[in-house]
Structures are given as structure tokens and as C-alpha cells.
Amino acid sequence: MTDASHPAPAGRHLVLAAVFLVAVTMPLSFTGPAVATPAIGRDLGGELSLLTWIVNGFMLAFGSTIMLGGALADQYGRKRMFRIGAISFTLTSLAVALSPSVLILDFLRALQGIAAAISISAGFAAVAQDYEGADRTRALGLLGTGFGIGLAFGPLIAGALIGSFGWRALFVATALAGLLTLLVGVPRMRETRDPGAIGIDRWGAASFTAMLVALTFGIILGPERGWDDTLVVTLLAGAAVLLIAFIAIENLQTRPMLDLSLFRYARFVSVQALPVAVAYSFIVPFILLPARFIRIEGMDELQVGVMLLPLSLPIATIPFVAANIARWIPSGILAGLGLILAGAGVLLLAFVPVGAAPTTFILPLFMIGAGAALPWGLMDDLAISVVPTERAGMATGIFGTMRVAGETVAIAIVGALMAAFVTGGIGGSVGDLPVEIASQFANAVAGGGLDQAVALAPSIERAIATEAYGAAFRNTMLICSAITFTAALITLVTLRTRQPRKRREPIMLEIGA
């Protein structure tokens, strides 16, 4: 239930424009820094383990607080929380641009992720209150388009800014976008809240956030410290305990942050395979390739932006086509066929050798982008369509959370896989090194930091380290391809037909309900 007792203001289209700008800026906030990381490393120094948190810290903070952001907006008002989020995002973006060290930058990036989660949750909910029926569908579709545009052109924009003005310009640009959002959107936004909100599910939010943080840290630290390390074991075991605690807490809540009873719908469980596949087929290459292009292939940031266009451009266009085709072909079939195409693209990418001509990447990257774009615009509707209509708001919240949290965990897992494959690929050469140096060497190679790796272990030739990176990238992509094909099979088997909803009621969007 939402409070819609006041008429939408005449300036609601400017509010939509402001939230659209937020939707464009958010993907730039994690794809842009992926391109900027090598430049930040050259400028500020710092170990690769710290540099990885430039992306991981933002994603982890964003993924673990987006549900809480929606709940806060419902409880305390969408305008209030949007204002707080936009101000915080603007200030933290500016602070990141002024960071004197990687450690401080990592901390600020986490704060930026929290601010982003609050502003985007409140912004989407505010737009949902100002539009009804078909107008709401078009408005929310436009916001999805904004996200696609930011994702498609983010690397190119980041590359141009870094190449022309340096990496700090990227964060100054996001700060300016946040300031524009404040000036245009906040004054014209009306205050709405959920009159049925009875408080924040604090224990649910705390246990979920702690679980995701412990799991991500455990996966990331595993290759560095060893999987039998006391801290790593404690983190992973703690994540399991916290997950159990979270499930118990949510089952006891009158209005849980996540209504886990929706997982009793088999088709709703099957839909969760879609974001998993997109994470491993699209998001993972999106994060890994900038480091490979710059550190291994020797490209500059602007070239990286151009190289990623075949991967990212389809996201800005194909979802529209898929939405229209879905009138005649079930969304589940379209999504499954798209995942097959994306999986085939990842498979081809796996066998692109280090040092290959740039044109060699075009076909596999386009296949990945086009394949992931088919389910991209269909996933949210599928998540809603497989549950009763009156549960649509909660289904949307759960699906969005699973999507972002899954991407965070996928990035951490792939980083661990890369390091493990590097260690296995070099074999005896690493075995001759002290344990601590060996893990640092493997992580450096996995991140593309060959210079740092050779400095750590001069006895290992650069050519051997390069070969180990190529093998690790290939094996990791093979696993990502297998995950994508498995998800495609699940989708085609379980979601191939349309299933009418049990009730026909208007859908009320409840972000963080």
C-alpha cells in the first residue's frame, strides 16, 4: 500500500528526468571505476588487493543496503530519503575524487555505494507514486532504459574522461550529476510514504548485510590467506550462520523485509537463475576485461571504452525489441535463447588468446551483450508474473536484491577462481616461494598486475606469468559459460510457457516493502 492522497505535481516529468539521471549515473559508478582502476593504481600506488575493492566495495555496499534503502523510503518518506541519498552520493563522489590514498578511496567508495542504494530505491519508488497504469509502465521502462544507457556508454565516457583529464575527473562528473539531480528533482518531488509501514526490519537488515559482507570477504580473502585460514573459515561459517538467522528472523516478522514464502513458488525460484546467468555471462566479463585490456593487452582507457561497446551497446537497444517480441513468444523462451547465445559468446571469449588482435573480441563480446540483453528487460516482469499479483511488489524487491547481491558474490568468486587457476597453472614455480609471497603473486597475476607479480617473484619469468594469466582467464570463462548454459536449460524447461496470475489486481510497486 502506498500513500497517493495528493495529486502528482505539474513538475513530475522533471522528477522523472532527475531519477532518470540517477539511473544513468549508477552503472557508471561501477563500470567507470573498473576502467579507472589501473590509472588509480599508477597514481596512488597500493597493492592489487586494495585496488580490487574500488569496485568490490561499491558493489558490496550497494547490494547489501538496497533493500534497507527501500524500507527506509517507505517508512520515512521517499522525498526525504532521496534527498539524503543524493546529497550523500554527491559529497562522497567529490571526496573520492580528492582521495589521497587507495585505502581512503576504498572506504569512500563503500559510502558511495550506500548513498547510491538509498537514492535509487527512493527515486524509483517516488516515480511509481507519480504515475499510474500505462504511464507508470512507461516511466519505469524509461528508468530501465537509463540504466542501460549508463551501462552501454559508461566505459566509453570513463575512458574519455580519464584519457583527457585523469581518473579524478570521473568522480567529479558523478558528483556533478548528483548535484544536478538535487537541483532539478528534489524541489519538485512530493513526499509520499507507505501508510502501512510499521517500522524497519532492523534485525533482518542487519543479518542480511552481515551475511553478505562475511561471505564476500571470505571468498576474496580465501586465495590470499588460504582456504584453511582461521579468518577465512570463520567468515564463511559465520555467513552460513547469519543466513540461517536471517531466514528465521524473516519468518517471524509481521512485515518482513523479504517475504521468503515466495520461494514456495517453484517458478519464482527458477526465475532466480536469470540474474545468476547474467552475472556470470555479462557482469563478470564487464569487470574483468578492462584490467586485461589495459594491463595485459597494453591498451589505454579510451581504447577500452571502445572495445567494450560490442558488449554494452546491445543492453541499450535489444531489451525494447525483446519486450515487443514477448507479445508472441513467451518471455521464458526468449530469455533462455538469449542465455544460450550469451553462453556461446563466453565460450568463444575463453579461447581468445592473450595478444590477439582487438577485432578478435568483437564477435564474442557482441554475442554476450546481445544474449544477455534478451533476458535483461524481461527478468523483472517474469519475477512478477510467476507469483500472484498481490505479491508483485515483494517479488520485485526480492528479485532486485538477489540480482545485485548475486552480482557482488559472482565478482568475488571469479576473482578467487582466477587466483586459484594461476596457482595451478604455474605449479612448481609458485611452490618454491614462501606461502605469503605465493598468494600475493597469484593475486597479482589474476588481476593483470604482471609488473607487480614479477617484482614479487623475480625467479618467475614474465612470459610464464602471462601464460598463467591467459590459462586462468580461459578456465574461468569456461566455468562462467557452463553456469550460463545451465541457467538457460533451467529457464527453457521451467519458464517456457506463460502461467496466468491467480488474481487480477492492479500492481502496486512497493520497493523494500
What residues contact 229, with CB distance under 8 A and at least 6 apart? 221, 222
Confidence grade of residue 203 (pLDDT, cut at 50, 70, 90)? confident
pLDDT at 5: 44
The per-residue pLDDT for 2 is 45
Is the Cβ–Cβ distance between 265 and 387 less than 8 Å?
Answer: yes
Bigger pLDDT: 386 vs 106: 106
Q: What is the model's pLDDT at position 289?
A: 93
| Percentages of the chain per state (helix, strand, coil), in multiples of 5 | 80, 0, 20
Q: Could you tell me the end-to-end alpha-carbon distance of the chain, in angstroms, rounded to an integer? A: 9
**What is 262-413+480-497's CATH topology?**
Growth Hormone; Chain: A; (1.20.1250)
Pair 252, 510: CB distance under 8 Å = no
* Of 338-342, 383-387, 399-403, minimum mean pLDDT range: 383-387
Return the CATH fold of 7-199. Answer: Growth Hormone; Chain: A; (1.20.1250)
Q: What is the pLDDT of residue 287?
A: 87
The answer to whether residue 321 scores a pLDDT higher than 70 is yes
- Confidence band for 3, pLDDT divided at 50, 70 and 90: very low
Rounded to whole angstroms, what are the CA distances from 4 to 130, 187, 191, 193? Answer: 8, 18, 10, 9
Q: How many CA atoms lie within 13 A of 135 on its CB side?
A: 10
CA-nearest of 69, 76, 39 to 54 is 39
**Cell numbers standing for residue 80:** 526525504
Alpha carbon of 233 to those of 228, 241, 397, 409, 416: distances in Å?
A: 6, 12, 31, 17, 15
In this prediction, residues 257-286 reach a mean pLDDT of 83
pLDDT tens for each residue of 459-502:
788 888 889 899 999 999 999 999 999 999 998 988 776 554 44
pLDDT in tens, 352-362: 999 999 999 99
Domain residue spans in the chain?
7-199, 202-252, 262-413+480-497, 422-472
Cα separation, 103 vs 224, whole angstroms: 18
Any long-range contacts for 231-239 (C-beta under 8 Å, 24+ apart)?
238/210, 238/214, 239/211, 239/212, 239/214, 239/215
pLDDT given for residue 392 in this prediction: 55
pLDDT digits (tens, 9 = 90+) for 344-387: 999 999 999 999 999 999 999 999 999 998 888 777 667 666 66
C-alpha distances (whole Å) from 482 to each of 280, 287, 319, 339, 473 are: 10, 19, 24, 11, 14
- What's the pTM? 0.81
- For residue 133, pLDDT over 80 is answered with no
